[in-house]
Each structure stands twice: as structure tokens, then as C-alpha cells.
Amino acid sequence: MKQDNRLDQPYVSIAPDGSLDHAPIEPGCFLGEDEVQPPLSLNEAMAKLKNWFRANSLNVLAYGTACGAIEMRPLGTSRFDMERLGITGAPTSRQANVLVISGYLSIKTLKRVIRAYEQMPSPKWTVGLGSCTIDGGMYWDSYNTIKQVDQYLPIDTYIAGCMPRPEALIAGFQALMDKIKAGEANGWNEYLENLEAYKAQQRKVINDWAMPAYNW
């Protein structure tokens, strides 16, 4: 599902009446690793500024998908304190930036997660928490859980463990923030570019598709 991470292709979103809505992506979010950094053009500087703002104020949708949610909750308490990193919780999808898939994803939950993800405004990121999102984990032989979340939703960062402790979660969120600042966290673009492929995969496992084709 992952294509080459080039930003020179415009991303495509489909409006409810079927028409396409093109919008250019901010260029210049990438800087080469080993080469001398050229001076930033205005577009690149604005893109860096925007990414800095977005990375330092993450709103996590308060949706505990599965057992990993129990490790997300201590993050808000005084011992681990995610608010000092700028991370807060959002009660509605419309005001959330990050969706955390915490643990195994059953088919019933996958339908709701897709709904919540598509209702979030772009740019948005997803974090896969725990081994079950990577390769099925402990529930590898369960008839009701999916084995790779990557096939159904784009994931920007994985945090391995069963369950990862809050310190690991903080390290994972910091890795996500670094990825956003570097301009490499573009899962939401990939989702819209490969929408047909993702939807085909989703419909393969969700038999009872009582949703619109795309949840605006």
C-alpha cells in the first residue's frame, strides 16, 4: 500500500457527488539527508512552520479501541503528563488530529474506526499501538480480528509491545512529532490517493456495510 513518498503528485479527494477535488500539497517538505541544506524558499519555510505548529499541538481522539486504551489513560495523569508535549484529548472527530488504534481491531470496531477516521479533518495521523496492529499479535488466529491494520487504514507510527508502557507511548508520540516536523507523515494523503484500493480491502472483510461510501 505504501508508495514512494513523493509530494509532486497532487492528492485527490472525492466529494459526495462523485466529483474530484484537487488541491496542491505544500512542496518542499523534504530535505535531503546527506546533502548540504539549501536555503529555504518561502513555500518551504511556510511548510516547515505549519508542520511545527501541527506537531506541537496534537489532539488525540478520545476513542479507546481495545485493550491498549488502558495504557493511554495514564498518559493524561500527573505521573506521565502528556499535556507538557502539547497532546490533549478531543471528544469529537471533528476536532481531533490523531487516531490511536490501541490494540486488536475487530471487524465491528473497524467499521466504527473507519467512520471516525474519515470524519476527521486533514491533516490527520494514525498511531498503531501494540503488536496486534502490526501482525495480529496475540489474536493472530482469531476469526474476528484483522491481522494488519495497514491494509485498511494508513498508519504513520507503530508502537510495538503488548501493551507498551506509557514511557514507550511517549517515545512513540515523540517519534510521530519528529515525523510530522520532517514532513514525512502523509498517511492521509496516501489514503486519498489509493482510496479505491483501501475501500476494496475494507469491503472484503466488512460484510455488513451500513455506511455511506465515504464518511464526510
Partner 1 sequence: MRALETIVKELETRFGVISHREQRRDLGEVNIASQHVVAALEWLKRHGGYKHLTHLSVVDWLEDGEFQLTYLLTDPYAHHSLMLCTRIERENARAETIFTLWPEAVTYEQEINEMYGIDFPGSPRQGVEFLLEGWNDMPPMRRDFDTVKYCEDTYDFRPGREHVDPKEVRAKFQAEQKRLKAENTESPQ
Partner 2 sequence: MEAQLPFYEQALWTALWVFAALIYGLCLNGVIRKIIGRIQGRIGPPFWQPIIDLGKLMFLRTSTMHGIMFYLAPVFRAVGGVGLLVFLPIVIGVPALENFSHSGDLLMIMYFFFFGQLGMAMGAGEGGHPYSPIGISRGLSQMTAFEFPFVLAMIAIAAQTGSFSIAAIVEAQQGGVLNWYIFQNPLAAIAALIALAGMNMVSPFDVVGAPQEIPVGPRTEYNAGFLSLMLSGVSVFNVAKLILFASLFLGGITTIIGFVAKTFIIYFWTIFIGAVFPRFRIEQSIRFFIKWPALAGIAGIALIMA
d(CA 59, CA 54): 10
Cite the beta strand spans of 88-133 per DSSP E: 88-90, 98-102, 125-129
122, 188 Cβ separation under 8 angstroms: yes
With CB under 8 A as the contact rule, which of the stretches 9-17, 72-80, 134-142, 155-163 interacts with partner 1? 134-142
Least distance between partner 1 and beta carbon 58 (Å): 27
Restricted to residues 68-127, the positions that interact with partner 2 (CB under 8 A) are: 77-79, 81, 83-84, 86, 91-92, 94-95, 97, 119-123
Q: Which is nearer to partner 2, 69 or 138 (CB)?
A: 69
**Least distance to partner 1 from the beta carbon of 191, Å?**
19
Q: Is 134 in the site for partner 1 (CB under 8 A)?
A: yes
194 binds, among partner 2, partner 1, none (CB under 5 to 8 A by kind): none
Site track for partner 2 across 147-166, x = CB under 8 A:
--------------------
Scanning 2-10, 65-73, 96-104, 133-141 for contacts with partner 1 by CB under 8 A, the matching segment is 133-141
165 to 5, 72, 82: CA distances (angstroms):
31, 9, 13
CA 108-67-145 angle, to 5 degrees, is 35
* Residue 165 near residue 131 (C-beta atoms within 8 A): no
With H, G, I as helix, E, B as strand and everything else as coil, classify residue 112. Answer: helix
